[in-house]
Chains A and B, each alone.
Chain A
Amino acid sequence: MEKKEKRTGEAKLMKGNEAFAEAAIRADIDAYFGYPITPQSEVLEYLEREIPNRHGLVLQAESEVASINMVYGAAGAGARVMTSSSSPGISLMQEGISYIAAAQLPCLIANVVRGGPGLGTIQPSQGDYFQATKGGGHGDYHLIVLAPSSVQEMADFVFDGFRLAEKYRNPVMILSDGALGQMMEKVILPEEGSLPKTTPAWATTGKTKNREHNVITSLFIQPEEMEQVNLRLQEKYKAIQSEVRYEEIQTDDAEILLVAFGLSSRICQKTVDLAREKGIKVGLLRPITLYPYPYARLNELSSQVEFMLTVEMNAGQMVEDVRLAVEGKVPVHFIGRMGGMILSPEDILHKLESVHESHNAVNV
């Protein structure tokens, strides 16, 4: 479980996207490749403004397809590299992400999610949960997925993301949304230069005499070999399970559990307060890593609570993981809105009360 760490440093008021971009510079990125799309264009704009006077490299590519393949090339050459986009752009990157996962290249990809499907809307959404956590592109692979719920975490997760990406040689996705990207909050930025960097031995930096040539590839044409590569990936994903992170709010005595990530969890915090004022013992579990997912903790909590209510800005995607976690031991309900619409704390409270009542009615 998360412990809130004490932070020192000057607090600034910043937009989520800008805090994210500033954190990227402070994380000493070698390169950022991106393409404009609302609601995340501030990232590219900020970096284009700042990087020429600081350090690193920023390049506006001709498309998200090009961006992600530039990320592949730079990551393969041993650089600390990232990109960001919003839903339609992330869809366009999926082929490249699959290649990056297969070639085991560390990098950071941020999706500032907007409402879909299709061109959709520029308003915030959590509709890309499946895409982010279950693969997204072709083949058996996983990204490590971090879900910030504040501007502070938009900045912090850049550092956490690179730490994980480089530790596991795996792409990391930061899954936020249009509201987190656009809203302004107080943030204490991570310290510049506090993320150590080494050039990995496998990188294509030029073959030296004392080693074989390095090759970055995702092609393993013999099925026997391809299977071994897959087994190694699956081993890695197993090891990654130890990185699971979540936050619990008032779960100690909770009889009802809300489960929500990102922006939805912020709204749910308010619902917890409203419910408790009314004497209903509600708690909240917020997954911070969406992959790996806190299945075990949710399973534990299923023996404590009467039911769970999953709250999402989509048609019900994470709720499937909550149901998997509790293995039918408690009912798992869902409330959500789609298309860029956001639930109010009262909407959630109302749903919670009506489920609560219906459960009691059955019990009588």
Chain B
Amino acid sequence: MNEKLYLEDEENLGTQVDESYEQVYCKPGTLTDVPFHYCPGCGHSVVHKVLMEVIAELGIQEETIGVAPVGCSVFAYQYMNIDMQEAAHGRASAVATGVKRVLPDKYVFSYQGDGDLAAIGTAETIHTVNRGENILMLFINNGIYGMTGGQMAPTSLIGQVTSTSPYGREAAQVGNPIKIADMLCLLPGAYYVTRQIVHNPNGVRKLKKALIKAFEYQKQKKGTCFVEVVSNCPSGWKMTPVETIKYIEEKMLPMYPVGDLKVPQN
């Protein structure tokens, strides 16, 4: 394999690297050279890449500040080559509020898992959206606590076996999976709410479009844009990456259907 295929700068895109290779792809300059620590097949990797591609394509690397959560993506700032802050568990949207309020002309996003955003950080989530903070909230719903070893999340499905629901999640005991994106739609501060996927190419393309829209709305100071990604956790789900695709399609998506939940009304 030609090393150069990966390492070449963006400027060389489309040029002939040597007799046999033309460079048709490279990672965006908005990603650092640090290798992802994510498990093979994990959706976090794809979301990171798509998000950073969007920031590169929009040319807003210098104007974007990201807030990383506590969860598997806690080290997002090592990979994303933009200014970033690491928030306490659940507080990313409050931290992002602090950043955005003092830098109102910059682009600000928070990146959170389901435990972070929809359990410990529920109050911050609801009130950030209710204030209509001009930020992008990116929500990675993998239905489990990946980082801490596969415990039940607020979004885990009924019957889902996790290390803290070893007999399957029971609604009578711990409630039903929470559809937080649907809840947030009720708030006038939510300008754009959408649910996307990254386990197939079409889904990736649509996520990209959604993120571009979200940044454009942010520029226009329209309110909070909330993008949920129904993702996977091969390690926590105790599945191969390929098995997780089937699980997403057969189990997750009936509960969390893909598509726009709230679109701008003009």
> Which of A64-72, A288-296, A326-334 lies at the binding interface?
A64-72
Residues of A within 8 A of B140 (CB): none
The answer to whether A77 and B86 touch (CB under 8 A), given A65-B94, A66-B123, is no
- Distance of A73 Cα from B99 Cα, bound (Å): 5
Considering only residues 47-91 of chain A, those with a C-beta below 8 Å from chain B are 57, 59, 61-63, 65-66, 69-79, 81
Contact A72 B102 (CB under 8 A): no
Considering only residues 84-100 of chain A, those with a C-beta below 8 Å from chain B are 95-96, 99
The answer to whether A219 and B74 touch (CB under 8 A), given A31-B98, A205-B103, A207-B83, is yes
Contact A216 B97 (CB under 8 A): no
> Which of B43-51, B60-68, B209-217, B227-235 lies at the binding interface?
B60-68
Q: Decide if A1 is an interface residue (CB 8 Å cutoff).
A: no
Q: Decide if B180 is an interface residue (CB 8 Å cutoff).
A: no
Q: Decide if A206 is an interface residue (CB 8 Å cutoff).
A: yes
Taking the nearest CB of chain A, how far is it from the CB of B89, in angstroms? 9
Q: Which of B67, B83, B87 contacts A206 (CB 8 A)?
A: B83
**Which of B32, B77, B87, B95 is most buried by chain A, counting CB atoms within 10 A of its CB?**
B95
- Distance of A66 Cα from B127 Cα, bound (Å): 9
Contact B83 A66 (CB under 8 A): no
Contact B102 A213 (CB under 8 A): no
Residues of A within 8 A of B88 (CB): 69, 72, 95-96, 99
The answer to whether A204 and B84 touch (CB under 8 A), given A59-B101, A65-B124, A73-B67, is yes
- Nearest neighbor of B81 in chain A, beta-carbon distance: A213
Q: Decide if A354 is an interface residue (CB 8 Å cutoff).
A: no
Contact B95 A72 (CB under 8 A): yes
Contact B77 A70 (CB under 8 A): no
Contact B62 A207 (CB under 8 A): yes
Q: Decide if A208 is an interface residue (CB 8 Å cutoff).
A: yes
- Nearest neighbor of B107 in chain A, beta-carbon distance: A206
Q: Decide if A234 is an interface residue (CB 8 Å cutoff).
A: no
* Chain A interface residue number, banded: 35 or more
Residues of B within 8 A of A216 (CB): 84-86
- Nearest neighbor of A59 in chain B, beta-carbon distance: B101
Q: Decide if B96 is an interface residue (CB 8 Å cutoff).
A: yes
Contact B124 A73 (CB under 8 A): no
Q: Decide if B208 is an interface residue (CB 8 Å cutoff).
A: no
Q: Decide if A7 is an interface residue (CB 8 Å cutoff).
A: no
Q: Decide if B221 is an interface residue (CB 8 Å cutoff).
A: no
Taking the nearest CB of chain A, how far is it from the CB of B104, in angstroms? 9
Q: Decide if A13 is an interface residue (CB 8 Å cutoff).
A: no
- Distance of A74 Cα from B101 Cα, bound (Å): 7
Contact A65 B123 (CB under 8 A): yes
Residues of A within 8 A of B67 (CB): 73
Residues of A within 8 A of B126 (CB): 62
- Distance of A67 Cα from B257 Cα, bound (Å): 34
Q: Decide if A344 is an interface residue (CB 8 Å cutoff).
A: no
- Nearest neighbor of B65 in chain A, beta-carbon distance: A204
Contact B106 A215 (CB under 8 A): no
Contact A61 B94 (CB under 8 A): yes
Q: Decide if B118 is an interface residue (CB 8 Å cutoff).
A: no
Interface string of A143-169 (1 = CB under 8 A from B): 000000000000000000000000000
Contact A206 B98 (CB under 8 A): no
Q: Which of B83, B84, B98, B124 contacts A72 (CB 8 A)?
A: B98
Residues of A within 8 A of B86 (CB): 103, 215-219
Taking the nearest CB of chain A, how far is it from the CB of B204, in angstroms? 25
Residues of A within 8 A of B123 (CB): 62-63, 65-66
Q: Decide if B199 is an interface residue (CB 8 Å cutoff).
A: no
Contact A215 B98 (CB under 8 A): no
Contact B98 A204 (CB under 8 A): no
Residues of A within 8 A of B64 (CB): 206
- Distance of A216 Cα from B88 Cα, bound (Å): 12
Considering only residues 159-191 of chain A, those with a C-beta below 8 Å from chain B are none
Taking the nearest CB of chain B, how far is it from the CB of A146, in angstroms? 23
Q: Which of B65, B82, B85 contacts A217 (CB 8 A)?
A: B85
Contact A30 B98 (CB under 8 A): no
Taking the nearest CB of chain A, how far is it from the CB of B141, in angstroms? 22
Residue pairs across A and B with Cβ atoms less than 8 A apart, 15 shown, are A30-B102, A31-B98, A59-B97, A66-B97, A73-B94, A73-B97, A76-B85, A77-B65, A95-B88, A204-B84, A204-B99, A209-B62, A213-B82, A217-B85, A219-B86
Chain B interface (Cβ < 8 Å from any Cβ of A): 32, 61-65, 67-68, 74-75, 77, 80-88, 91, 94-103, 106, 123-124, 126-127
Apart from the given pairs A213-B80, A217-B77, A219-B74, 15 other A-B contacts in the complex at a CB distance below 8 Å: A65-B124, A66-B124, A69-B91, A69-B94, A69-B98, A77-B102, A95-B88, A99-B88, A206-B62, A206-B63, A206-B83, A207-B61, A207-B83, A214-B84, A215-B86
Chain A interface (Cβ < 8 Å from any Cβ of B): 30-31, 33, 57, 59, 61-63, 65-66, 69-79, 81, 95-96, 99, 103, 204-209, 213-219
The 9 closest A-B pairs by CB, nearest first: A73-B98, A204-B83, A69-B94, A73-B95, A70-B98, A217-B86, A74-B98, A62-B127, A79-B102
